[in-house]
Amino acid sequence: MAKIRRMQECDLDQVAALEQLIFSEPWSRRSFEETYLKKENCYLVVVEEGQVLAYCGLWGILGEGDICNVAVREDIRRHGLAEAMLNELLKEAGAMGIHAFTLEVRVGNAPAIALYHKLGFEDAGVRPGFYEKPREDALIMWKFSSNSH
């Protein structure tokens, strides 16, 4: 049974390895190491039998949360892990006093965009040429919880 919990030091090697497999411009292990423990940030992993299946992060900035590094191992996508993980991230961030959330996603990543819409995110604009390798625009999305206004 998969468990969602805060990222720990013992997860960093697996998270960095998964990051290398999934993203064309991956973060280094050191980048995760420098950010996952900061009190204004929240990083979660989904683990099962010692294996990291998915992870995500949120950078808290003045009551807003910038969601980054949403990743699910390719062989287990479309089984609800990302949705469960992101719901937990939103819940934990809300407990930290964050009630407005933003993220960027490749405009061509229809499955992720559909998931974000399902979670209550709305399209807010486009950042032209935001991504490299391949070059692609980013869709900017926002979600405001009921406590944000």
Active site residues: 104, 116
Phi-psi region of 49 (alpha: psi -120 to 50; beta: other; left: phi over 0): left
Centroid of chain to Cα 50: 20
Cβ-defined contacts of 117-121 (< 8 Å, 24+):
118/83, 119/83, 119/86, 119/87, 119/90, 119/143
The tokens of 139 are what? Answer: 């869709």
